Structure formats: C-alpha cells, structure tokens
Amino acid sequence: MSQEENLQPEVNTEHQILVAARKVFTRKGYAAARMEDIAKEAGINRALLHYYFRSKDRLFEMVFDENIRKFYGSFIGILTADAPIDIRIRNLVSAEIDMLLHNQDLPLFVLNEITRNPELLSTRINLLPLREFKQVFVRVITEEAAKGNIRQINPLHVLLHLMSLCVFPFVGRPMFVAISGATPEQFEAIMEERKQLIAETLIQLIKPR
C-alpha cells in the first residue's frame, strides 16, 4: 500500500535509540555515558543497541555530528539577511538564546568533547560550516565598517563578545544557580531579559565612536 513506509518515523527503534543516545551523551558526555544508560533511556536492552549500532563510538559520532550542527546552526542564516546591522544582531542573539534554552546541555557537551578530542573538528567535515560562518561573520563586520555603519574593530572581538554573552550562562548555569538560588523558571526569565541586554551591549560595542 502507498502508506506502508513509516508514517511515524519517531516510533521505530533505530530512531528511539538515536534520541536516547543524544539525551544521554549530551547530558553526561562521552566518558561518563554508559551503553546501559542509553538502552534504558530507549526502553530496550544492550544487545539490541549493538544490533542497530555496532559500537559506542559509532553512536557517539552521529550524536556529535548532530549536536555540533545544531550548535552553530542557528547562527548562519540571520547574519546575511537584508536588514540593518543592529536588527540582524538582535535577531541573531534572540535566535541563539532560544536555541540554547531548548538545548541547555548542548554547549558544555560540545566544548567539552572538542577540548578532550580536538580531532573531532580537524579531521571531520564538522569544521567546514563553522569556518564558513566565521568567514561570513568577518565579512559582514568588515563591510559594515567600510560603509561607516559601525566602527573599525577586530571582528574576532565581536565574535568573542557574541559567543561569550550568549553561550556562557548555559555553561556556567549550575554555578549561577548555586550562588543565586534561581529556579529553572527564573533562570529562563533572566535569559529572556538578557536577549535585549546582550544585543544592546553588542550594538554599543560596534557603534561608531
């Protein structure tokens, strides 16, 4: 029949395993993640895990690829949109923080795995889109500076400001929660507030002097 093939791709076992693996790997990191944890999370047993995916490394590879794409995925499009630079910055910050609010474990996972194993970036294709984003970013900042819309400034500083302000709160979240006593809801509210604050900070940073 014409509807034979997978009406609900979410409920086949292979996909369930991938979802479970992403959750476990992203939360605990490669070293601390146990195949048993993933099996339990997926509601199956270890034997079936290896039946679908040969090894822990293969599973991790897929999760890492997906996660690193997600990590910078939200950045790329907005930057080259047809809008004034400060609008683009507002949209960029907002999109990035929205993505991070939905994937709070993502940054620590990505930064961790890259630190422990830099070849994840250098040997794989993973680096290319990241490089491309950086080039687009540098070009945009340089062009806007040439037009006089913003001041002359090393684009890498702007990039570091952007990444720092958006990403760090999610990496430092447990420490922030410990010292501030914020609940998850309060943390989320603070990050919503920060969207504006961060955008204003960045606009202030690049404003002609």
- List residues binding a copy of itself (CB under 8 A): 28-29, 31-32, 108, 110-112, 114-116, 118, 121-122, 127, 130-131, 133-134, 154, 156-157, 160-161, 163-165, 167-169, 171-176, 178-180, 190, 193-194, 197, 201, 204-205
Helix or strand run (H / E) with residue 99: helix 85-102
Q: How many CB atoms lie within 10 A of CB 200?
A: 14
Number of residues that bind DNA (CB under 7 A): 18
The two structure tokens encoding residue 79: 């930057």
> What residue 11 binds from a copy of itself, DNA, none (CB within 5 to 8 A, per partner kind)?
none
Q: Given the rule CB under 7 A, which of 36-44, 151-159, 173-181, 199-207 is the region that contacts DNA?
A: 36-44
State which residue, 15 or 27, has the beta carbon closest to a copy of itself.
Answer: 27
Nearest approach in angstroms of CB 13 to a copy of itself is 29
Q: Determine if residue 187 is left, alpha or beta; phi over 0 gives left, psi from -120 to 50 gives alpha, anything else beta.
A: alpha
State which residue, 15 or 23, has the beta carbon closest to a copy of itself.
Answer: 23
The residue count of the chain comes to: 209
**Contact (Cβ atoms closer than 8 angstroms) between residue 133 and residue 174:** no
Q: Rule CB under 7 A: is residue 178 a binding residue for DNA?
A: no
> Residue 159, CB half-sphere, CA atoms under 13 Å: how many?
19
Nearest approach in angstroms of CB 54 to a copy of itself is 23
160 vs 92: CA distance, rounded Å: 14
Nearest approach in angstroms of CB 163 to a copy of itself is 6
State which residue, 9 or 181, has the beta carbon closest to a copy of itself.
Answer: 181
Please classify residue 162 by burial: count the beta carbons closer than 10 Å to its beta carbon, then call 0-12 exposed, 13-18 middle and 19+ buried.
buried
Nearest approach in angstroms of CB 93 to a copy of itself is 13
**Contact (Cβ atoms closer than 8 angstroms) between residue 171 and residue 111:** yes
> What residue 184 binds from DNA, a copy of itself, none (CB within 5 to 8 A, per partner kind)?
none
197 vs 166: CA distance, rounded Å: 11
Which residues contribute to the site for DNA (CB under 7 A)?
A: 13, 33-36, 43-48, 50-52, 54-57
